Amino acid sequence: MKRTAVLMLVIGIALFTAVLAWQGFGAVARAMSAVGWLGLAAVTAWHIVPLVIDSHAWRLLFQKPRPPVWRIIWARWIGESVNGLLPVAQIGGDIAKARLLIKRQLPAAQTGATVVVDTTLAAIGQMLFAIAGLLMLVALMARPDLAWAIGIGIAVMLGLLALFYRLQRGGLFVLLARALKKIAGGRHTFDFVGGAGALDTAIGRIYGAPGVVLRGLAWRLVGWFVGIGEVWLALYFLGEPVGLDDALMLEALGQAIRGAAFAIPGALGVQEGGFALLAPLVGLSMETGVAISLVKRVRELAFGVPGLIAWQVAEGRSVSGRARSARPAI
């Protein structure tokens, strides 16, 4: 597994370097210098808005009394940092944030269930967001003949999400735990969330309140659309202002491309190549598209590096706390 992660990281670095070389290091550097520190700070600060919105959507899935909102924001920040900067295939951060909350005395099965359902709602929200981007792309290209192909692709993706939902309702994690136990030589993979059976029960309880689930999905979708602001601000400070419709297309399809490359840490190279290809569709140069992606990279580092430090501090306190409790009294 570690070898695969390292291989994916090497591939990502190679792709990243290749895209920069393709567009010209000098041209990309000039585009980035046009953004300036003020632009980078504005894009970084804007990310706080969707972070808070997504945290609110996740918090809704907990049973009352719900955890304090600041704790959920803290856990999501760390989870995003892990997923964004480490080779964990976009799932390590979800495990990390669940563990952090469980160690702070939140119910294990309920916390694990909220993470699973929230991740599912995020995928559905991103799918709807991508559909909006695809529809915008069809309108911009004036190619109605593409609508059929796009429609088939959307139907397939929605079908896969519906299947995943049904599997969750049908005891997915009990079946998964049995398979993983055989692979892992008898180790119980879901012990930290109270066991697979408890996790399935807690997931079923959340889905048993459709009003709460729909509210969570609505807020998740709001979070995706608010994220358009990052692209809009980046292009504004690049001296290439665009309308919200163009920013929507770029962000929606750029995020879809990044999501498809989940196996590569941070979608290195893939995200840059995606924005380079999307930018000309709204009259921008490929170098500007790469610059958009690099602005996003700076934002990820500005949020992610402190997030990883906070994660290590939190884990260190947890370890030292267990050591003190295990120390025999004198």
pLDDT digits (tens, 9 = 90+) for 55-111: 999 999 999 899 999 999 999 999 999 988 888 767 788 888 988 998 888 888 888
**pLDDT reported for residue 146:** 61
Return d(Cα 99, Cα 194) in angstroms, integer. 11
Q: Is residue 325 part of a domain?
A: no
Please tell me the number of Cα atoms within 13 Å of 197 on its side-chain side.
0
**pLDDT reported for residue 142:** 66
Q: Is residue 262 part of a domain?
A: yes
3-state SS of 227-263? CHHHHHHHHHHCCCCCCHHHHHHHHHHHHHHHHHCCC
Q: What average pLDDT does the segment 27-40 reach?
A: 81
Q: Is residue 175 part of a domain?
A: yes
N-terminal to C-terminal alpha carbon distance within the chain:
44
Burial of 197 (0-12, 13-18, 19+ CB in 10 A): middle
**pLDDT reported for residue 92:** 82
pLDDT per residue as tens digits for the range 193-242: 556 677 778 888 888 899 999 999 999 999 999 999 999 999 999 999 99
Supply the DSSP symbol for 315: H
- Domain with 110 in it: 1-312
**pLDDT of residue 144 exceeding 70:** no
Percent of the chain with pLDDT over 70: 81
Q: Where are the alpha helices (DSSP H) in the chain?
A: 2-23, 25-46, 48-59, 69-85, 92-103, 108-141, 146-169, 172-183, 196-207, 210-226, 228-237, 244-260, 270-278, 286-326
pTM of the shown model: 0.85
Q: Is residue 161 part of a domain?
A: yes
How many structural domains are present in the chain?
A: 1
Q: Is residue 264 part of a domain?
A: yes
Q: Is residue 328 part of a domain?
A: no
Q: Is residue 330 part of a domain?
A: no
Q: What average pLDDT does the segment 120-130 reach?
A: 89
Q: Is residue 49 part of a domain?
A: yes
**pLDDT of residue 154 exceeding 60:** yes
